[in-house]
């Protein structure tokens, strides 16, 4: 039995098209109509392959590659083998990604689980829902009353879109997603198992028990956001929970009620953000970072993996540790502890 092809090729790319993507000039004598069939790592590349290199760790792989075309930054241009054509560009990885998207467009976002187009007979769509022509609703998907779904959006099998939700155009709601009390923009990708719009964790606690506080806010997911598998985003209690334009969220992230995340942030797996925290634009949170409620992390700040943020972080700062603090201060503390531990160990050994 032949192996399945999960991401079929849309066709070849010419050298001229690749040069346009890279905003680079082809070397003299290069044929702009010559075709490249695939984009692959350096070690797998052949004469009709495109590869890239922007990291010194792969210098040996670059020297040994048989790639027809290699995207490189200026610093590595002289290391491209004689048998390969080197295209110098400012960001080789970004250009490689763009070429991959041209070659394999079906890998850019999730598609129908059933290979369906339009509203499938097995979908449960409320008669008051408004589905634009060109949207796809898979068998087994549930679309509630007064929902609006835009052209080019796919709602996969097992997904549930609750009453009054709105989803823009060219978005993807993957299998098993639940969406409630939410407004979702254009070109948004929700990976399998994402949960958006459920109750925030709000209780008035006391000695006679804990009284549930109704959560009456929404979740607003702006354009070009991508949210990884099994991530949960609670709706606001009074104000809205907001995920800003272009933000990318990994798998297994928990975002509490009233959190506001700015534009183009990057949030890595297993991060937990407590209620009413605010992140500015272009913030980066490494894996397993914990953020307590009601703090503000300024624009462009970066928090190292496994750190705990328990106070406001200035814009542009690089913090790490538990509790998080400026990286240089954190490193000094680590080195001081190492030195102290070494001295104690030496003294004990010497005494013995």
Distance between CA atoms of residues 89 and 26, nearest Å: 11
Q: How does pLDDT run across 98-153, given as a tens digit for each residue? A: 999 999 999 999 999 999 999 999 999 999 999 999 999 999 999 999 999 999 99
Structure tokens at 246: 């272009």
Q: How does pLDDT run across 52-82, given as a tens digit for each residue? A: 999 999 999 999 999 999 999 999 999 999 9
pLDDT of residue 3: 85
pLDDT of residue 1: 78
Q: Partners of 212 in the beta sheet?
A: 203
Name the pairing type of β-strands 260-261 and 278-279. parallel
Query: Contact at 8 Å (CB) between 259 and 275?
Result: yes
Distance between CA atoms of residues 212 and 232, nearest Å: 20
Q: Is 210 an annotated catalytic residue?
A: no
Burial (CB count within 10 angstroms: exposed 0-12, middle 13-18, buried 19+), residue 136:
buried
Distance between CA atoms of residues 298 and 22, nearest Å: 33
pLDDT of residue 345: 58
CA atoms in the 13 A half-sphere facing the CB of 114 = 21
- 121, 133, 257, 294: the catalytic one is 257
Residue with more model confidence, 174 or 343 = 174
Burial (CB count within 10 angstroms: exposed 0-12, middle 13-18, buried 19+), residue 69:
buried
Q: Is the dihedral of CA 207, 212, 218, 220 positive or negative?
A: positive
Q: The whole model's pTM is what?
A: 0.94
Residue 206 has pLDDT above 90, yes or no: yes
Overall average pLDDT of the 180-206 stretch:
97
Burial (CB count within 10 angstroms: exposed 0-12, middle 13-18, buried 19+), residue 352:
exposed
Distance between CA atoms of residues 289 and 302, nearest Å: 11
Which helix (H) or strand (E) is 51 found in, with range?
Answer: strand 49-53
Distance between CA atoms of residues 151 and 167, nearest Å: 10
Residue 352 has pLDDT above 60, yes or no: no
Query: Smallest Cα–Cα separation from 254: which of 237, 281, 230?
Result: 230
Taking all residues of the chain, what is their mean pLDDT, rounded to a whole number?
Answer: 96
């Amino acid at each position: 039995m032949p192996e399945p092809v999960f991401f079929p090729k849309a066709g070849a790319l010419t050298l001229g098209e690749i040069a346009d993507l890279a905003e680079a000039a082809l070397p003299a004598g290069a044929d702009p109509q010559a075709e490249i069939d695939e984009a692959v790592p350096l070690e797998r590349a052949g004469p009709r392959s495109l590869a890239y290199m922007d990291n010194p760790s792969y210098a040996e792989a670059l020297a040994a590659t048989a790639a027809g075309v290699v995207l490189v930054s200026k610093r590595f241009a002289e290391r491209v083998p004689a048998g390969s054509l080197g295209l110098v560009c400012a960001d080789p990885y970004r250009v490689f990604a763009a070429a991959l998207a041209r070659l394999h467009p079906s890998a850019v976002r999730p598609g129908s689980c059933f290979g369906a187009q339009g509203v499938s007979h097995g979908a449960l769509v409320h008669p008051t829902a408004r589905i634009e022509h060109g949207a796809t609703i898979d068998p087994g998907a549930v679309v509630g009353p007064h929902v609006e779904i835009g052209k080019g959006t796919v709602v996969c099998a097992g997904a549930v879109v609750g009453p009054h939700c709105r989803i823009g155009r060219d978005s993807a709601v993957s299998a098993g997603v639940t969406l409630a009390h939410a407004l979702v923009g254009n070109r948004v990708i929700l990976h399998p198992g994402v949960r958006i719009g459920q109750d925030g964790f709000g209780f008035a606690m006391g000695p006679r028990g804990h009284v549930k506080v109704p959560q009456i806010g929404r979740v607003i997911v702006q354009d070009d956001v991508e949210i990884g598998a099994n991530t949960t985003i609670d709706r606001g209690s009074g104000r809205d929970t907001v995920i800003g334009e272009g933000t990318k969220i990994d798998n297994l992230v928990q975002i509490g009620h009233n959190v506001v995340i700015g534009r183009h942030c990057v949030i890595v797996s297993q991060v937990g953000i407590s209620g009413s925290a605010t992140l500015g634009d272009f913030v980066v949170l490494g894996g397993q970072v914990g953020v307590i409620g009601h703090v503000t992390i300024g624009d462009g700040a970066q928090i190292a993996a496994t750190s705990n943020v328990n106070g406001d972080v200035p814009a542009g700062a690089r913090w790490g540790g538990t509790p998080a603090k400026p990286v240089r201060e954190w490193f000094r503390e680590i080195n001081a502890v190492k030195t102290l531990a070494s001295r104690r160990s030496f003294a004990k050994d010497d005494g013995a």
